[in-house]
Amino acid sequence: MQYISTRDSSRRYSAAQAIVQGLSRDGGLFLPETIPALTAEDLQSMVGMTYQQRAVKVMKAYLDEFTEEELAEYAAKAYAVPGKFDDAAVTPIHSTHHKTHFLELWHGPTCAFKDMALQMLPYLLTASLRKTGEEKTACILVATSGDTGKAALEGFRDVDGTRIMVFYPKDGVSEIQQLQMVTQEGSNVDVCAVVGNFDDAQTGVKTIFSDEALRAELAGRGYFLSSANSINWGRVLPQIVYYVATYAELVKRGDIQMGDQINFCVPTGNFGNILAGYYAKRMGVPIDKLLCASNANNVLTDFIRTGIYDRNRPFHTTISPSMDILISSNLERLLYLLSGSDAEVRGYMEQLNKTGRYEVSKDMLEKIQDNFLCGFCDDERTTNAIGKVFSHGKYLMDTHTAVAYTVMMDHRAATGDATPTVVVSTASPFKFCDSVLTALGVQDQRGGVEILDQLAEVSGKAAPAPLAGLKGKARRFAQVVEKQQMADVVREALV
Ligand SMILES: *Cc1c(COP(=O)(O)O)cnc(C)c1O
Protein backbone atom coordinates (compact mmCIF):
# COMPACT_ATOMS: atom_id res chain seq x y z
CA MET A 1 0.00 0.00 0.00
CA GLN A 2 1.28 3.43 -0.97
CA TYR A 3 1.07 6.60 1.07
CA ILE A 4 0.39 10.17 -0.04
CA SER A 5 0.47 13.63 1.54
CA THR A 6 -2.72 15.51 2.40
CA ARG A 7 -1.31 18.52 0.53
CA ASP A 8 0.08 16.80 -2.57
CA SER A 9 -1.41 13.49 -3.65
CA SER A 10 0.69 13.23 -6.82
CA ARG A 11 3.72 11.66 -5.10
CA ARG A 12 3.71 8.15 -3.65
CA TYR A 13 5.65 7.00 -0.59
CA SER A 14 6.11 3.61 1.01
CA ALA A 15 4.82 3.11 4.56
CA ALA A 16 8.42 2.99 5.76
CA GLN A 17 9.19 6.34 4.08
CA ALA A 18 6.09 7.91 5.60
CA ILE A 19 7.00 6.68 9.07
CA VAL A 20 10.65 7.78 8.76
CA GLN A 21 9.76 11.27 7.53
CA GLY A 22 6.86 11.85 9.93
CA LEU A 23 5.69 15.05 8.26
CA SER A 24 5.68 15.55 4.49
CA ARG A 25 8.02 18.25 3.17
CA ASP A 26 5.02 20.13 1.74
CA GLY A 27 3.74 20.52 5.32
CA GLY A 28 1.03 17.89 4.83
CA LEU A 29 0.43 14.66 6.72
CA PHE A 30 0.94 11.20 5.27
CA LEU A 31 -1.96 8.85 4.91
CA PRO A 32 -2.61 5.60 3.06
CA GLU A 33 -3.87 6.02 -0.47
CA THR A 34 -6.77 3.63 0.18
CA ILE A 35 -8.39 2.23 3.31
CA PRO A 36 -8.22 -1.56 3.64
CA ALA A 37 -11.56 -3.28 4.26
CA LEU A 38 -12.29 -5.69 7.08
CA THR A 39 -15.00 -8.12 6.08
CA ALA A 40 -17.52 -9.51 8.57
CA GLU A 41 -15.52 -12.77 8.48
CA ASP A 42 -12.30 -10.91 9.29
CA LEU A 43 -13.98 -9.26 12.23
CA GLN A 44 -15.49 -12.56 13.35
CA SER A 45 -12.08 -14.23 13.16
CA MET A 46 -10.74 -11.60 15.57
CA VAL A 47 -13.25 -12.45 18.30
CA GLY A 48 -11.11 -15.36 19.46
CA MET A 49 -7.79 -13.51 19.23
CA THR A 50 -5.58 -11.86 21.83
CA TYR A 51 -4.94 -8.12 21.69
CA GLN A 52 -1.51 -8.75 20.21
CA GLN A 53 -2.95 -10.95 17.45
CA ARG A 54 -5.62 -8.37 16.66
CA ALA A 55 -2.86 -5.75 16.39
CA VAL A 56 -1.00 -7.82 13.81
CA LYS A 57 -4.16 -8.37 11.78
CA VAL A 58 -5.06 -4.67 11.64
CA MET A 59 -1.54 -3.31 11.13
CA LYS A 60 -0.63 -5.81 8.42
CA ALA A 61 -3.48 -4.44 6.29
CA TYR A 62 -1.66 -1.08 6.16
CA LEU A 63 1.94 -2.25 6.02
CA ASP A 64 2.77 -4.40 2.96
CA GLU A 65 6.51 -4.12 3.47
CA PHE A 66 6.34 -5.67 6.92
CA THR A 67 5.90 -9.41 7.37
CA GLU A 68 3.41 -10.91 9.79
CA GLU A 69 6.35 -12.36 11.74
CA GLU A 70 7.89 -8.91 12.15
CA LEU A 71 4.63 -7.39 13.31
CA ALA A 72 3.95 -10.29 15.68
CA GLU A 73 7.36 -9.74 17.26
CA TYR A 74 6.70 -6.01 17.72
CA ALA A 75 3.23 -6.60 19.16
CA ALA A 76 4.55 -9.19 21.60
CA LYS A 77 7.23 -6.77 22.83
CA ALA A 78 5.21 -3.55 22.76
CA TYR A 79 2.18 -5.01 24.53
CA ALA A 80 3.95 -7.50 26.78
CA VAL A 81 1.98 -8.57 29.86
CA PRO A 82 3.55 -8.40 32.38
CA GLY A 83 6.51 -6.19 31.59
CA LYS A 84 4.87 -3.36 29.71
CA PHE A 85 1.15 -3.59 30.48
CA ASP A 86 -0.36 -4.60 33.79
CA ASP A 87 -3.59 -6.20 32.55
CA ALA A 88 -3.84 -9.44 30.58
CA ALA A 89 -6.39 -7.83 28.24
CA VAL A 90 -3.93 -4.95 27.50
CA THR A 91 -6.93 -2.61 27.09
CA PRO A 92 -9.52 -3.86 29.62
CA ILE A 93 -13.13 -2.79 29.29
CA HIS A 94 -14.97 -1.73 32.45
CA SER A 95 -18.73 -1.61 32.13
CA THR A 96 -20.80 0.49 34.52
CA HIS A 97 -24.04 -0.37 32.73
CA HIS A 98 -24.92 -2.85 29.96
CA LYS A 99 -24.66 -0.04 27.41
CA THR A 100 -21.90 2.04 28.97
CA HIS A 101 -18.37 0.74 28.63
CA PHE A 102 -15.09 2.38 29.58
CA LEU A 103 -12.19 1.34 27.39
CA GLU A 104 -9.13 1.70 29.62
CA LEU A 105 -6.15 2.61 27.48
CA TRP A 106 -3.86 3.45 30.37
CA HIS A 107 -2.46 0.14 31.59
CA GLY A 108 0.93 0.74 29.94
CA PRO A 109 4.23 2.02 31.33
CA THR A 110 3.27 5.72 31.54
CA CYS A 111 -0.41 5.29 32.49
CA ALA A 112 -1.91 7.19 29.53
CA PHE A 113 -3.27 6.07 26.18
CA LYS A 114 -0.22 7.44 24.36
CA ASP A 115 1.53 4.19 25.32
CA MET A 116 -0.72 2.30 22.91
CA ALA A 117 1.06 3.95 19.99
CA LEU A 118 4.38 4.93 21.51
CA GLN A 119 5.26 1.44 22.66
CA MET A 120 4.83 0.32 19.04
CA LEU A 121 6.30 3.29 17.16
CA PRO A 122 9.99 2.64 18.01
CA TYR A 123 9.73 -0.84 16.43
CA LEU A 124 8.00 0.54 13.35
CA LEU A 125 10.46 3.39 13.08
CA THR A 126 13.69 1.45 13.53
CA ALA A 127 12.50 -1.20 11.05
CA SER A 128 11.50 1.56 8.64
CA LEU A 129 14.97 3.09 8.95
CA ARG A 130 16.48 -0.25 7.95
CA LYS A 131 14.04 -0.69 5.09
CA THR A 132 14.79 2.76 3.67
CA GLY A 133 18.56 2.38 4.08
CA GLU A 134 18.81 5.40 6.38
CA GLU A 135 22.09 5.42 8.26
CA LYS A 136 21.89 8.71 10.15
CA THR A 137 20.67 8.80 13.74
CA ALA A 138 16.99 9.68 14.01
CA CYS A 139 16.42 12.58 16.37
CA ILE A 140 12.83 12.37 17.55
CA LEU A 141 11.45 15.81 18.41
CA VAL A 142 8.31 15.88 20.50
CA ALA A 143 6.08 18.70 21.66
CA THR A 144 3.89 17.49 24.48
CA SER A 145 0.90 18.64 26.43
CA GLY A 146 2.02 16.18 29.10
CA ASP A 147 1.35 12.56 28.22
CA THR A 148 3.01 12.19 24.82
CA GLY A 149 6.37 13.33 26.11
CA LYS A 150 6.65 10.73 28.81
CA ALA A 151 5.25 7.98 26.61
CA ALA A 152 7.70 8.83 23.82
CA LEU A 153 10.64 8.98 26.24
CA GLU A 154 9.70 5.60 27.64
CA GLY A 155 9.20 4.12 24.16
CA PHE A 156 12.50 5.37 22.71
CA ARG A 157 14.81 5.23 25.71
CA ASP A 158 18.04 3.47 24.77
CA VAL A 159 16.70 2.45 21.35
CA ASP A 160 19.74 2.16 19.04
CA GLY A 161 19.96 4.69 16.22
CA THR A 162 17.66 7.19 17.95
CA ARG A 163 17.84 10.32 20.10
CA ILE A 164 14.76 11.81 21.67
CA MET A 165 14.10 15.41 22.75
CA VAL A 166 10.90 16.43 24.48
CA PHE A 167 9.59 19.97 24.90
CA TYR A 168 6.74 20.59 27.34
CA PRO A 169 4.91 23.82 28.30
CA LYS A 170 6.39 24.97 31.60
CA ASP A 171 3.09 25.60 33.38
CA GLY A 172 0.87 23.39 31.25
CA VAL A 173 1.39 19.94 32.76
CA SER A 174 0.48 18.33 36.08
CA GLU A 175 3.06 17.88 38.82
CA ILE A 176 3.07 14.12 38.34
CA GLN A 177 3.45 14.49 34.57
CA GLN A 178 6.39 16.85 35.03
CA LEU A 179 8.00 14.53 37.53
CA GLN A 180 7.58 11.59 35.17
CA MET A 181 9.48 13.49 32.46
CA VAL A 182 12.26 15.15 34.43
CA THR A 183 13.18 11.83 36.08
CA GLN A 184 13.36 9.98 32.75
CA GLU A 185 16.18 7.47 32.53
CA GLY A 186 18.11 6.56 29.39
CA SER A 187 21.27 7.70 27.62
CA ASN A 188 19.61 9.13 24.48
CA VAL A 189 16.98 11.36 26.09
CA ASP A 190 16.58 15.14 26.62
CA VAL A 191 13.74 17.02 28.29
CA CYS A 192 13.21 20.80 28.21
CA ALA A 193 10.47 23.12 29.47
CA VAL A 194 9.20 25.92 27.20
CA VAL A 195 7.73 29.20 28.44
CA GLY A 196 4.21 29.24 26.95
CA ASN A 197 1.42 26.77 26.27
CA PHE A 198 1.27 23.54 24.24
CA ASP A 199 0.60 25.35 20.98
CA ASP A 200 3.79 27.38 21.53
CA ALA A 201 5.78 24.18 22.01
CA GLN A 202 4.14 22.51 19.02
CA THR A 203 4.65 25.56 16.80
CA GLY A 204 8.30 25.64 17.91
CA VAL A 205 8.78 22.02 16.87
CA LYS A 206 7.04 22.58 13.54
CA THR A 207 9.29 25.59 12.90
CA ILE A 208 12.37 23.46 13.56
CA PHE A 209 11.09 20.84 11.11
CA SER A 210 10.64 23.40 8.36
CA ASP A 211 14.06 25.00 8.96
CA GLU A 212 16.02 23.68 5.95
CA ALA A 213 19.28 25.30 7.06
CA LEU A 214 19.10 23.59 10.45
CA ARG A 215 18.28 20.26 8.84
CA ALA A 216 21.32 20.57 6.58
CA GLU A 217 23.52 21.46 9.52
CA LEU A 218 22.29 18.45 11.51
CA ALA A 219 22.65 16.13 8.51
CA GLY A 220 26.31 17.16 8.39
CA ARG A 221 26.61 15.91 11.96
CA GLY A 222 24.90 12.60 11.17
CA TYR A 223 21.38 13.37 12.39
CA PHE A 224 18.01 13.74 10.80
CA LEU A 225 14.83 14.94 12.43
CA SER A 226 11.80 12.74 12.88
CA SER A 227 8.57 13.07 14.77
CA ALA A 228 6.76 10.99 17.35
CA ASN A 229 3.88 13.46 17.57
CA SER A 230 0.50 12.20 16.50
CA ILE A 231 1.13 13.64 13.06
CA ASN A 232 3.26 10.54 12.38
CA TRP A 233 1.29 7.77 10.66
CA GLY A 234 3.12 5.30 12.91
CA ARG A 235 1.21 6.87 15.79
CA VAL A 236 -2.23 6.71 14.22
CA LEU A 237 -2.01 3.11 13.01
CA PRO A 238 -1.56 1.34 16.39
CA GLN A 239 -4.54 3.35 17.64
CA ILE A 240 -6.85 1.93 14.97
CA VAL A 241 -6.20 -1.45 16.55
CA TYR A 242 -8.05 -0.82 19.81
CA TYR A 243 -11.21 0.36 18.09
CA VAL A 244 -11.34 -2.85 16.08
CA ALA A 245 -10.24 -4.95 19.07
CA THR A 246 -12.89 -3.42 21.33
CA TYR A 247 -15.62 -4.32 18.89
CA ALA A 248 -14.38 -7.92 18.75
CA GLU A 249 -14.11 -7.99 22.54
CA LEU A 250 -17.66 -6.71 23.11
CA VAL A 251 -18.91 -9.46 20.77
CA LYS A 252 -16.82 -12.02 22.64
CA ARG A 253 -18.30 -10.89 25.96
CA GLY A 254 -21.81 -11.05 24.58
CA ASP A 255 -22.44 -7.34 25.19
CA ILE A 256 -23.27 -6.93 21.49
CA GLN A 257 -23.99 -9.23 18.55
CA MET A 258 -21.78 -9.18 15.48
CA GLY A 259 -23.13 -6.42 13.25
CA ASP A 260 -24.66 -4.27 16.01
CA GLN A 261 -23.77 -0.59 15.83
CA ILE A 262 -21.86 1.03 18.66
CA ASN A 263 -20.71 4.58 19.41
CA PHE A 264 -17.37 5.73 20.75
CA CYS A 265 -17.00 8.90 22.79
CA VAL A 266 -13.44 10.22 22.71
CA PRO A 267 -11.79 12.95 24.81
CA THR A 268 -10.10 14.88 22.04
CA GLY A 269 -7.15 17.22 21.67
CA ASN A 270 -5.04 16.80 18.56
CA PHE A 271 -7.75 14.64 16.92
CA GLY A 272 -5.39 11.63 16.67
CA ASN A 273 -7.31 9.19 18.83
CA ILE A 274 -10.73 9.86 17.33
CA LEU A 275 -9.29 9.87 13.80
CA ALA A 276 -8.15 6.29 14.41
CA GLY A 277 -11.76 5.50 15.34
CA TYR A 278 -12.89 6.97 12.04
CA TYR A 279 -10.41 4.74 10.19
CA ALA A 280 -11.86 1.72 12.02
CA LYS A 281 -15.33 2.79 10.90
CA ARG A 282 -14.18 3.21 7.30
CA MET A 283 -12.55 -0.25 7.45
CA GLY A 284 -15.98 -1.68 8.17
CA VAL A 285 -16.30 -1.88 11.95
CA PRO A 286 -20.00 -1.20 12.75
CA ILE A 287 -19.47 2.17 14.40
CA ASP A 288 -22.40 4.55 14.20
CA LYS A 289 -21.21 7.81 15.69
CA LEU A 290 -17.94 9.10 16.98
CA LEU A 291 -18.52 11.66 19.71
CA CYS A 292 -15.81 14.27 19.82
CA ALA A 293 -15.56 15.52 23.42
CA SER A 294 -13.70 18.75 24.23
CA ASN A 295 -13.01 20.75 27.36
CA ALA A 296 -13.36 24.56 27.53
CA ASN A 297 -10.99 24.74 24.55
CA ASN A 298 -13.96 23.85 22.38
CA VAL A 299 -12.66 24.77 18.95
CA LEU A 300 -13.67 21.33 17.63
CA THR A 301 -17.19 21.51 19.06
CA ASP A 302 -17.75 24.75 17.17
CA PHE A 303 -16.16 23.30 14.05
CA ILE A 304 -18.32 20.19 13.97
CA ARG A 305 -21.45 22.28 14.61
CA THR A 306 -20.76 25.08 12.12
CA GLY A 307 -18.01 24.05 9.70
CA ILE A 308 -15.96 27.03 10.85
CA TYR A 309 -12.60 26.28 12.40
CA ASP A 310 -11.45 29.35 14.29
CA ARG A 311 -8.47 29.27 16.58
CA ASN A 312 -8.76 33.01 17.35
CA ARG A 313 -10.09 32.58 20.86
CA PRO A 314 -8.75 32.63 24.40
CA PHE A 315 -6.66 29.64 25.39
CA HIS A 316 -7.88 28.01 28.63
CA THR A 317 -5.64 26.07 30.97
CA THR A 318 -7.91 23.33 32.28
CA ILE A 319 -7.81 20.30 34.56
CA SER A 320 -7.69 18.09 31.42
CA PRO A 321 -4.41 19.54 30.08
CA SER A 322 -3.84 16.91 27.39
CA MET A 323 -6.83 18.40 25.60
CA ASP A 324 -5.74 22.05 25.94
CA ILE A 325 -5.16 22.49 22.24
CA LEU A 326 -6.40 25.04 19.71
CA ILE A 327 -4.82 23.55 16.59
CA SER A 328 -5.87 19.94 16.16
CA SER A 329 -3.29 18.76 13.63
CA ASN A 330 -4.88 15.45 12.74
CA LEU A 331 -8.06 17.12 11.56
CA GLU A 332 -6.16 17.70 8.33
CA ARG A 333 -6.27 13.97 7.63
CA LEU A 334 -10.04 13.93 8.08
CA LEU A 335 -10.42 16.86 5.68
CA TYR A 336 -8.49 14.89 3.07
CA LEU A 337 -10.40 11.67 3.70
CA LEU A 338 -13.73 13.44 3.25
CA SER A 339 -12.80 15.63 0.27
CA GLY A 340 -10.22 13.49 -1.53
CA SER A 341 -8.76 16.79 -2.70
CA ASP A 342 -5.23 17.92 -1.86
CA ALA A 343 -6.02 21.35 -3.35
CA GLU A 344 -9.00 21.80 -1.04
CA VAL A 345 -6.95 20.80 2.03
CA ARG A 346 -4.10 23.10 0.97
CA GLY A 347 -6.57 25.95 0.73
CA TYR A 348 -7.94 25.40 4.23
CA MET A 349 -4.48 25.05 5.72
CA GLU A 350 -3.24 28.22 4.01
CA GLN A 351 -6.16 30.12 5.48
CA LEU A 352 -5.51 28.61 8.90
CA ASN A 353 -1.90 29.73 8.67
CA LYS A 354 -2.74 33.26 7.53
CA THR A 355 -5.87 34.06 9.52
CA GLY A 356 -6.22 31.27 12.07
CA ARG A 357 -9.57 30.39 10.56
CA TYR A 358 -11.22 28.50 7.69
CA GLU A 359 -14.70 27.41 6.73
CA VAL A 360 -15.27 24.06 5.03
CA SER A 361 -17.69 23.52 2.15
CA LYS A 362 -21.31 22.62 2.85
CA ASP A 363 -20.73 19.21 1.38
CA MET A 364 -17.79 18.60 3.71
CA LEU A 365 -19.77 19.77 6.74
CA GLU A 366 -22.57 17.32 5.96
CA LYS A 367 -20.10 14.46 5.73
CA ILE A 368 -18.52 15.45 9.02
CA GLN A 369 -21.90 15.57 10.75
CA ASP A 370 -22.86 12.18 9.30
CA ASN A 371 -19.99 10.62 11.23
CA PHE A 372 -19.21 12.87 14.17
CA LEU A 373 -21.17 14.30 17.06
CA CYS A 374 -19.61 16.75 19.46
CA GLY A 375 -19.87 18.43 22.81
CA PHE A 376 -17.78 20.09 25.47
CA CYS A 377 -17.60 20.24 29.20
CA ASP A 378 -16.00 22.81 31.51
CA ASP A 379 -13.90 22.06 34.60
CA GLU A 380 -16.81 22.37 36.99
CA ARG A 381 -18.91 19.74 35.25
CA THR A 382 -15.84 17.53 34.79
CA THR A 383 -15.24 17.67 38.53
CA ASN A 384 -18.88 16.92 39.31
CA ALA A 385 -18.86 13.90 37.00
CA ILE A 386 -15.82 12.37 38.71
CA GLY A 387 -17.46 12.72 42.13
CA LYS A 388 -20.81 11.40 40.97
CA VAL A 389 -19.55 8.35 39.08
CA PHE A 390 -17.31 7.43 41.99
CA SER A 391 -20.03 7.77 44.60
CA HIS A 392 -22.52 5.74 42.50
CA GLY A 393 -20.45 2.82 41.28
CA LYS A 394 -16.99 3.31 42.80
CA TYR A 395 -15.60 3.80 39.30
CA LEU A 396 -12.78 6.32 39.34
CA MET A 397 -12.32 8.44 36.20
CA ASP A 398 -9.48 10.78 35.38
CA THR A 399 -10.33 14.31 34.22
CA HIS A 400 -10.07 13.55 30.47
CA THR A 401 -12.29 10.50 30.72
CA ALA A 402 -14.76 12.54 32.76
CA VAL A 403 -15.03 15.10 29.95
CA ALA A 404 -15.96 12.31 27.54
CA TYR A 405 -18.39 10.74 29.99
CA THR A 406 -20.18 14.05 30.50
CA VAL A 407 -20.44 14.69 26.77
CA MET A 408 -21.87 11.20 26.27
CA MET A 409 -24.46 11.75 29.01
CA ASP A 410 -25.40 15.13 27.48
CA HIS A 411 -25.86 13.45 24.12
CA ARG A 412 -28.05 10.73 25.59
CA ALA A 413 -30.15 13.24 27.50
CA ALA A 414 -30.62 15.42 24.42
CA THR A 415 -31.40 12.67 21.90
CA GLY A 416 -32.44 9.53 23.77
CA ASP A 417 -29.80 7.65 21.75
CA ALA A 418 -29.68 4.12 23.19
CA THR A 419 -26.75 2.86 21.11
CA PRO A 420 -24.18 1.05 23.28
CA THR A 421 -21.38 3.50 23.83
CA VAL A 422 -17.72 3.07 24.62
CA VAL A 423 -16.20 5.96 26.55
CA VAL A 424 -12.53 6.01 25.69
CA SER A 425 -10.64 6.31 28.98
CA THR A 426 -7.31 7.91 28.22
CA ALA A 427 -5.46 8.27 31.51
CA SER A 428 -5.14 6.75 34.95
CA PRO A 429 -6.81 8.95 37.57
CA PHE A 430 -3.50 8.80 39.44
CA LYS A 431 -1.90 11.00 36.79
CA PHE A 432 -4.16 13.85 37.88
CA CYS A 433 -4.36 13.25 41.61
CA ASP A 434 -4.99 16.86 42.63
CA SER A 435 -8.00 17.39 40.38
CA VAL A 436 -9.38 13.94 41.15
CA LEU A 437 -9.01 14.43 44.92
CA THR A 438 -10.73 17.80 44.65
CA ALA A 439 -13.58 16.09 42.81
CA LEU A 440 -13.84 13.59 45.65
CA GLY A 441 -14.16 16.48 48.08
CA VAL A 442 -10.64 16.39 49.51
CA GLN A 443 -9.32 19.93 49.88
CA ASP A 444 -6.35 19.35 52.14
CA GLN A 445 -3.91 17.67 49.76
CA ARG A 446 -0.41 16.34 50.27
CA GLY A 447 2.47 17.64 48.16
CA GLY A 448 4.75 15.84 45.70
CA VAL A 449 4.40 12.11 45.21
CA GLU A 450 2.72 11.70 48.62
CA ILE A 451 -0.46 12.71 46.86
CA LEU A 452 -0.49 9.29 45.15
CA ASP A 453 -0.87 7.60 48.54
CA GLN A 454 -3.57 10.04 49.48
CA LEU A 455 -5.66 9.25 46.41
CA ALA A 456 -5.08 5.54 47.01
CA GLU A 457 -6.38 5.87 50.58
CA VAL A 458 -9.40 7.96 49.64
CA SER A 459 -10.41 5.89 46.62
CA GLY A 460 -9.48 2.44 47.85
CA LYS A 461 -7.61 1.84 44.55
CA ALA A 462 -3.90 1.18 44.23
CA ALA A 463 -1.68 3.63 42.35
CA PRO A 464 -0.22 2.04 39.19
CA ALA A 465 3.30 0.74 39.76
CA PRO A 466 5.05 3.15 37.33
CA LEU A 467 3.66 6.14 39.26
CA ALA A 468 4.23 4.69 42.70
CA GLY A 469 7.83 4.13 41.55
CA LEU A 470 8.42 7.87 41.05
CA LYS A 471 9.19 8.21 44.74
CA GLY A 472 12.85 8.81 45.31
CA LYS A 473 13.77 9.09 41.63
CA ALA A 474 16.42 11.73 40.82
CA ARG A 475 15.46 14.80 38.74
CA ARG A 476 17.73 14.84 35.70
CA PHE A 477 16.40 17.77 33.62
CA ALA A 478 15.81 21.38 34.70
CA GLN A 479 16.27 23.46 31.53
CA VAL A 480 13.61 26.12 30.72
CA VAL A 481 13.73 28.11 27.46
CA GLU A 482 11.71 30.64 25.44
CA LYS A 483 10.14 29.15 22.33
CA GLN A 484 12.51 31.11 20.08
CA GLN A 485 15.40 29.24 21.69
CA MET A 486 14.12 25.74 20.94
CA ALA A 487 16.21 25.39 17.77
CA ASP A 488 19.32 26.28 19.77
CA VAL A 489 18.51 23.57 22.30
CA VAL A 490 18.45 21.04 19.47
CA ARG A 491 21.68 22.43 17.97
CA GLU A 492 23.47 22.22 21.29
CA ALA A 493 22.28 18.72 22.13
CA LEU A 494 23.20 17.15 18.79
CA VAL A 495 26.94 17.73 18.65
C1 LIG B 1 -3.35 12.98 24.29
C2 LIG B 1 -4.50 12.80 25.20
C3 LIG B 1 -5.80 13.11 24.80
C4 LIG B 1 -6.11 13.69 23.44
O5 LIG B 1 -5.85 12.78 22.39
P6 LIG B 1 -5.69 13.31 20.90
O7 LIG B 1 -5.24 12.13 20.12
O8 LIG B 1 -4.64 14.38 20.96
O9 LIG B 1 -7.00 13.84 20.47
C10 LIG B 1 -6.83 12.87 25.69
N11 LIG B 1 -6.59 12.40 26.94
C12 LIG B 1 -5.35 12.11 27.36
C13 LIG B 1 -5.15 11.63 28.74
C14 LIG B 1 -4.27 12.30 26.51
O15 LIG B 1 -3.03 12.00 26.95
Convert the pLDDT of each residue in 417-445 to its tens digit. Answer: 999 999 999 999 999 999 999 999 999 99
Ligand 1 atom with minimal separation from the 113 CA:
15
3-state secondary structure of 55: helix
Which protein residue's CA is at the shortest distance from atom 1 of ligand 1? 322
pLDDT tier, 237 (very low <50, low <70, confident <90, very high otherwise): very high
C-alpha 134 to ligand 1 mean position (Å)? 31
Whether 206 lines ligand 1, by a CB cut-off of 6 Å, is no
> For ligand 1, what atom is nearest to the CA of residue 401?
11
Give Cα 95 to chain centroid, integer Å: 23
User: Given the DSSP bridges, would you call strands 372-376 and 162-169 parallel, antiparallel or unpaired?
Assistant: unpaired
Active-site residue, from 60, 84, 99, 114 = 114
Catalytic residue flag (residue 114): yes
Q: What's residue 203's pLDDT?
A: 87
**Centre of ligand 1 from the C-alpha of residue 182, in Å:** 20
pLDDT at 441: 97
Give the model's pLDDT for residue 22.
86
CA-230 nearest atom, ligand 1: 7
Contacts of 57 (CB under 8 A, 6+ apart): 42, 45, 46, 49
Q: For position 400, what pLDDT does the model report?
A: 98
Cα(103) to ligand 1 centroid in Å equals: 14
Whole-Å CA distances, 132 to 30, 60, 88: 16, 18, 35
Please tell me if the CB atom of residue 112 comes closer than 6 angstroms to any atom of ligand 1: yes
Secondary structure element (H or E) that encloses residue 25, with its range: none
pLDDT band with cut points at 50, 70 and 90 for residue 399: very high
Does 108 contact ligand 1 (Cβ within 6 A)?
Answer: no
DSSP 15: H
Q: 403: Cβ below 6 Å to ligand 1? A: no
pLDDT tens column, 155-201 = 999 988 899 999 999 988 888 889 999 999 999 999 999 999 888 99
What angle is formed at CA 104 by the lines to CA 98 and CA 105, rounded to 5 degrees?
Answer: 145
